[in-house]
């Protein structure tokens, strides 16, 4: 028995709301409520033009996130299943339930933003490649490797699930340089004054 239902689009929780620092509880059984929440999170992510969204960003401290890099042609994503390259778009959207990551030691630096930090985009160093094992909505598990934008998104969302934010990865000097922008976000303003914004 199916019931027509409109998806709920949540408001995004912005920095410095304390829930963004909450460590998520592991998701247990995949209940209908979890499935509904996943649908709503996907709808919320799309409504805000994000490529990833973690439960903390809609005010819930559980280890559940969604990612979708479909259509991000200007930023390459790579994915492997059983060590063989696969087409990332065939696996989108990706639901990350209780993700466990293994990160390579070598890092890559690339620009990163976060829906909870409106208007802030800055270079962040992250592991070049990640091996992820995640729970799936059918109660099983799924292991894959990812690099490029997808690898970055999986790391960024998994950090959210443990209360970690991308600004934690800045050096002290980088954080000082971004201080004014971060202060604007704390005041509820977008980081960048759009009249001075240069799109590079």
Nearer to Zn ion, 103 or 167 (CB): 167
Q: Applying CB under 5 A, which part among 3-11, 69-77, 88-96, 107-115 lies near Zn ion?
A: 107-115
The one segment of 6-14, 19-27, 114-122, 134-142 that binds Zn ion by CB under 5 A: 114-122
Q: Which CB atom, from 95 or from 114, has the smaller least distance to Zn ion?
A: 114
Q: Applying CB under 5 A, does 114 fall inside the site for Zn ion?
A: yes
* CA 165 from centre of chain: 10
Judge whether 39 and 106 are in contact, CB under 8 Å. no
Bridge partner residues of 148 (DSSP): 77
Token output for 93: 């959207």
Quote the distance between the C-alpha of residue 169 and its chain's center.
15
CA-based nearest residue to 112, from 122, 101, 125, 97: 122
Residue closer to Zn ion (CB basis): 30 or 75: 75
Residue count, binding to Zn ion (CB under 5 A):
1
Nearest approach, Cβ of 166 to Zn ion (angstroms)? Answer: 6
CB 25 within 8 A of CB 62: yes
Contact positions vs Zn ion (CB under 5 A)? 114
């Amino acid at each position: 028995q199916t019931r027509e239902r409109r998806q709920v689009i949540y408001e995004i929780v912005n920095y410095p709301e304390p829930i963004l620092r909450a460590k998520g509880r592991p998701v247990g059984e995949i209940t209908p409520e979890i499935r509904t929440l996943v649908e709503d999170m996907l709808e919320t992510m799309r409504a805000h033009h994000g490529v990833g969204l973690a439960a903390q960003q809609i005010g819930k401290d559980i280890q559940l996130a969604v990612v979708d890099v479909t259509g991000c042609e200007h930023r390459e994503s790579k994915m492997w299943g059983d060590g063989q390259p696969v087409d990332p778009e065939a696996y989108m959207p990706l639901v990350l339930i209780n993700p466990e990551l293994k990160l390579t030691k070598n890092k890559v630096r690339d620009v990163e933003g976060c829906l909870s930090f409106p208007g802030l985009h800055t270079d962040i160093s992250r592991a070049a490649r990640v091996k992820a094992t995640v729970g799936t909505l059918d109660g099983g598990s799924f292991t894959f490797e990812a690099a490029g934008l997808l690898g970055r998104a999986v790391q960024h969302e998994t950090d959210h699930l443990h209360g970690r934010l991308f600004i934690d990865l800045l050096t002290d000097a980088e954080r000082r340089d971004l201080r004014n922008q971060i202060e604007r976000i704390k005041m509820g303003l977008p980081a960048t004054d759009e009249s001075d914004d240069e799109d590079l």
